[in-house]
């Protein structure tokens, strides 16, 4: 099983890059596509229906009127993680609210604005429920973070 990443526009590619980087570190297979919910809705439906056969988790990346995560969630019962993107106009708050405020019944698990890395980690955590190998990788990942924090020194340079 893999993670399917769908971005609303190629302009979201930096967030996709952060997700792919983290998934690769965990050794998780992925697929990444650009499919806008409003510019290509028929293609989105076709893609999600086909992709869900091999997909454990979908990650949507969208900015502005960010309905992509909600539309994907409407088309599948696989978990959907939404990454709201920062915009030059409203700073991403609009995308955060559009993504997180799903009406009851069809959830989108929403991470922080531009939170691609956390989206990948959360996808890994979901997949690790039934995968001992992934579970161990997550524990090692946390231990490494803790070690880095312990080794971080503060030196006053004033």
Q: What residues line the site for ligand RP5 (CB under 6 A)? A: 8-9, 11-12, 36, 62-64, 85
Residue placing its CB nearer to ligand RP5 in the complex, 35 or 75: 35
Q: Give the residues across from 68 on adjacent strands.
A: none
Classify strands 30-34 and 2-7 as parallel, antiparallel or unpaired: parallel
d(C-alpha 135, C-alpha 66), whole Å: 31
Residue placing its CB nearer to ligand RP5 in the complex, 95 or 127: 95
CB atoms within 10 A of CB 24: 12
Residue whose token pair is 């009406």: 103
Residue whose token pair is 């099983």: 1
- In the bound complex, what is the minimum distance in angstroms from residue 2's beta carbon to ligand RP5? 21
Is 39 part of any known ligand binding site?
A: yes
- In the bound complex, what is the minimum distance in angstroms from residue 35's beta carbon to ligand RP5? 10
* End-to-end alpha carbon distance in the chain: 52
- In the bound complex, what is the minimum distance in angstroms from residue 12's beta carbon to ligand RP5? 5
Residue placing its CB nearer to ligand RP5 in the complex, 9 or 118: 9
Backbone angles phi, psi at 105, to 5 degrees: 115, -30
Residue placing its CB nearer to ligand RP5 in the complex, 111 or 124: 111
Structure-token pair, residue 37: 């919910």
DSSP annotation of 87 reads: -
- In the bound complex, what is the minimum distance in angstroms from residue 5's beta carbon to ligand RP5? 12
Annotated binding-site residues for substrate read 9, 12, 39
Binding-site residues: 9, 12, 39
């Amino acid at each position: 099983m893999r993670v399917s990443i769908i971005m609303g526009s190629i302009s979201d590619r930096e967030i996709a890059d952060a997700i792919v980087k983290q998934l690769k570190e965990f050794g998780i297979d992925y697929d990444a596509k650009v499919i806008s919910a409003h510019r290509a809705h028929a293609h989105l439906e076709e893609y999600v229906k086909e992709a869900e056969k091999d997909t454990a988790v979908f990650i949507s990346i969208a900015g502005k009127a960010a309905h992509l995560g909600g539309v994907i969630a409407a088309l599948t019962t696989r978990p959907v993680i939404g990454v709201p993107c920062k915009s030059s106009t409203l700073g991403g708050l609009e995308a955060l609210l559009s993504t997180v405020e799903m009406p009851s019944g069809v959830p989108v698990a929403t991470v922080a604005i531009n939170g691609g890395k956390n989206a990948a980690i959360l996808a890994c955590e979901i997949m690790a429920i039934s995968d001992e190998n992934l579970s161990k990788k997550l524990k090692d990942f946390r231990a490494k973070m803790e070690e880095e924090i312990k080794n971080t020194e503060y030196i006053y340079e004033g």
